[in-house]
């Protein structure tokens, strides 16, 4: 049976863990060839091996997405290796130190903004020209529920994720007639290593903020990304889609 993403090349940043890993596997299961990018090469190599062992096609690349020149080089290499680009999931992100705004250090603020917002911009500015050459495609930026509302002790993260949604909407308008769709996804709190810093009782309290009274799974986020990447979403661009167990409905 024909798979929905056969002959498509998909780049996933932060693909070596959590939501990026589940997304890369979901895209690969539908036939996409995966360029798996992560700062953690060991994690990326593990996921690539698992995709290949399941019959898929994937290659890993080490990259810190907060480095624009390095991002340019990796995307040039992906063009050489795969010949084009049709799907880009800009997912790499960090949580940052939890502290009220006035107690945030400038260096922590800058690190979170540089990975979670600048990193998405750097990725897009090199992905878009290659996607244009490849005949169009779909970009999915990983925002958060915290791209739509505030959350105490996380000002840099919240500011970056709000920025990702604005960047998504703006570039969707700019590249709609080039056949490039750009959307953002807003996960609620998802069980991944990103939440490891939080104590167990805090996690129970956070689960209760979702009407479903649980954390989400990476696979539940990946299912939405897969839909947005697929031809089924052909008239969808410039939008932000929560996948949050009802968190934003309160
Ligand atoms: P995760 O399990 O920590 O995975 C993130 C991956 O990105 C890790 O492999 C990490 O490598 C890598 N990474 C970190 N900084 C990077 C950089 N500068 N350049 C390249 N790769 C980098 O986190 P996750 O929970 O799957 O999060 C993925 C995305 O979803 C993030 O954008 C996050 O903000 C967003 N999100 C997560 C949740 C949640 O509750 N988990 C909720 C909403 C949105 P290292 O392990 O070496 O750091």
- Residues 195-213 pLDDT 10s: 887 888 889 999 999 999 9
Angle at Cα 37 formed by Cα 160 and Cα 42, nearest 5°? Answer: 115
pLDDT tens, 52-99?
999 999 999 999 999 999 999 999 999 999 999 999 999 999 999 999
Residue 201: its pLDDT value, please? 87
Residue 199: its pLDDT value, please? 82
By DSSP bridging, strand 240-243 and strand 9-13 are: unpaired
Is 0.95 topped by the overall pTM? yes
The residue to mutate among 36, 90, 92, having the most atoms of ligand 1 within 8 angstroms of its beta carbon, is 92
Angle of helix 68-82 relative to helix 119-133, nearest 10 degrees?
30
pLDDT confidence of 151, banded at 50, 70, 90? very high
Residue 194 CB–ligand 1 contact under 6 Å: yes
By DSSP bridging, strand 180-187 and strand 240-243 are: parallel
CA distance 204 to 119: 31
Cβ count near 142 (within 10 Å): 26
Nearest to residue 168, comparing CAs of 118, 227, 217, 124?
124
Residue 97: its pLDDT value, please? 94
pLDDT tens, 15-57?
999 999 999 999 999 999 999 999 999 999 999 999 999 999 9
Instruction: Give the full edge-to-edge strand order of the sheet including 57-62.
Output: 57-62, 33-38, 9-13, 87-90, 137-142, 180-187, 240-243
Q: Whose CA is nearest to atom 39 of ligand 1?
A: 190
Q: Where are the beta strands (DSSP E) in 51-133?
A: 57-62, 87-90
Sign of CA dihedral 191, 196, 198, 200: positive
Per cent of the chain over pLDDT 70 is 100
């Amino acid at each position: 049976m024909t798979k929905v993403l056969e002959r498509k090349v998909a780049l996933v940043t932060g693909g070596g863990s959590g939501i990026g890993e589940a997304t890369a596997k979901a895209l690969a299961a539908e036939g996409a060839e995966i360029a798996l990018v992560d700062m953690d090469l060991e994690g990326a190599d593990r996921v690539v091996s698992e995709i290949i062992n399941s019959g898929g096609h994937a290659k890993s690349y080490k990259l810190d997405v907060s480095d624009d020149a390095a991002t340019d080089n990796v995307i040039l290499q992906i063009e050489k290796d795969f010949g084009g680009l049709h799907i880009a999931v800009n997912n790499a992100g960090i949580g940052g130190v939890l502290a009220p705004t006035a107690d945030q250090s400038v260096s922590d603020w800058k690190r979170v903004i540089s990975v979670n917002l600048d990193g998405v911009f750097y990725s897009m500015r090199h992905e878009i020209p290659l996607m244009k050459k490849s005949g169009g495609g779909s970009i999915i930026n990983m925002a958060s529920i915290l791209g739509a509302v505030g959350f105490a002790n996380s000002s840099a993260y919240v500011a970056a994720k709000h920025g990702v949604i604005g960047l998504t909407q703006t570039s969707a308008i700019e590249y709609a007639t080039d056949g490039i769709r750009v959307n953002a996804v807003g996960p609620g709190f998802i069980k991944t290593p990103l939440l490891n810093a939080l104590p167990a009782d805090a996690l129970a309290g956070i689960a209760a903020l979702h009407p479903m009274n649980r954390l989400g799974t990476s696979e539940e986020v990946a299912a939405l990304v897969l839909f947005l990447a697929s031809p089924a979403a052909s008239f969808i661009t410039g939008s932000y889609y929560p996948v949050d167990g009802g968190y934003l409905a309160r």
